[in-house]
Amino acid sequence: MERPAWAPRSIDISVPSVSRMYDYYLGGSHNFEVDREAARKAMEFMPGLPKIMQANRAFMRRAVRFAAAEGITQFLDIGSGIPTFGNVHEVARAAAPDARVMYVDHDPVAVAHSQAVLQGTDGAGILAADLRKPGEILNSPELLRLIDLNRPVALLLVAILHFVEDADDPYAAVTELREALAPGSMLVLTHASYDGIPLPPERAEGAVDVYQNIRNPLIMRTRDEIARFFEGYDMVEPGLVPMPRWRPDTAPEDEDPYAFSGFAGVGRTA
Helix (H) or strand (E) holding 236: none
Q: Report the residue from 117, 164, 177, 186 that binds ligand SAM according to the rule CB under 6 A.
A: 164
- Assess 80 for contact with ligand SAM (CB under 6 A): yes
Of 40-48, 102-110, 180-188, 249-257, the window that binds ligand SAM (rule: CB under 6 A) is: 102-110
- Assess 81 for contact with ligand SAM (CB under 6 A): yes
Of 7-15, 36-44, 126-134, 254-262, the window that binds ligand SAM (rule: CB under 6 A) is: 126-134
Q: By CB under 6 A, how many residues form the interface with ligand SAM?
A: 22
Of 16-24, 37-45, 142-150, 205-213, the window that binds ligand SAM (rule: CB under 6 A) is: 16-24
The footprint of ligand SAM on residues 127-146 (CB under 6 A) is 130-132
222 residue type, one letter: T
Q: How far apart are CA 177 and CA 187, in angstroms?
A: 10
Q: How far apart are CA 72 and CA 67, in angstroms?
A: 5
User: Shortest distance, CB of residue 184 to ligand SAM, whole angstroms?
Assistant: 23
User: Shortest distance, CB of residue 19 to ligand SAM, whole angstroms?
Assistant: 3
Q: How far apart are CA 101 and CA 91, in angstroms?
A: 11
- Assess 107 for contact with ligand SAM (CB under 6 A): yes
Q: How far apart are CA 172 and CA 184, in angstroms?
A: 20
Q: Report the residue from 7, 13, 16, 18 that binds ligand SAM according to the rule CB under 6 A.
A: 18
**CA gyration radius, the chain:** 18
Q: What is the DSSP string of 44-102?
A: HH-TTHHHHHHHHHHHHHHHHHHHHHTT--EEEEET--S--SS-HHHHHHHH-TT-EEE
Please give the backbone phi and psi of residue 266, each rounded to the nearest 5 degrees, phi first. Answer: -135, 135
Of 44-52, 101-109, 174-182, 204-212, the window that binds ligand SAM (rule: CB under 6 A) is: 101-109
Interface contacts to ligand SAM, rule CB under 6 A: 18-19, 22, 56-57, 60, 78-81, 105-107, 110, 130-132, 158-160, 163-164
